[in-house]
Amino acid sequence: MLRTIHHIKDGPKEMYDIDARAAVAQFPKEWSDNPWPEKSSKPTKAEQELQAASDALAAAEKALGEARTDEEKKMATAARDEAKAALDALTSKNKS
């Protein structure tokens, strides 16, 4: 008996039932019983802003970890705190 399952990239495919069940069970990130949701090809402005803020925070934390002098640590801490505040503001803005 044939059954239709859905591949994440190739879309719907017909397979024998036993093969379809095995594919969905063994590769759930690749095969699904239901169609995969449409994924927009371009991130939204909010997603881009969140990614930029997250990247800035990661860079600031890296700089803080690499800081050697007290002055470098002070500057890196301030940059990290500023990046964290910006990320927190964007996160709370996107929740509402």
In terms of pTM, does the model score above 0.85? no
Q: Tell me the per-residue pLDDT of 13-33, one tens digit each, with 9 for 90 and over.
A: 999 999 999 999 999 999 999
| Arithmetic mean of pLDDT over the chain | 89
In this prediction, residue 45 carries a pLDDT of 86
The average pLDDT across 66-82 equals 93
In this prediction, residue 96 carries a pLDDT of 60
- 69 Cβ partners below 8 Å, 6+ apart? none
Question: Helix 45-66 crosses helix 70-95 at what angle (to 10 degrees)?
Answer: 160
The average pLDDT across 6-18 equals 94
In this prediction, residue 95 carries a pLDDT of 67
In this prediction, residue 7 carries a pLDDT of 94
Per-residue pLDDT band for 91 (boundaries 50, 70, 90) equals confident
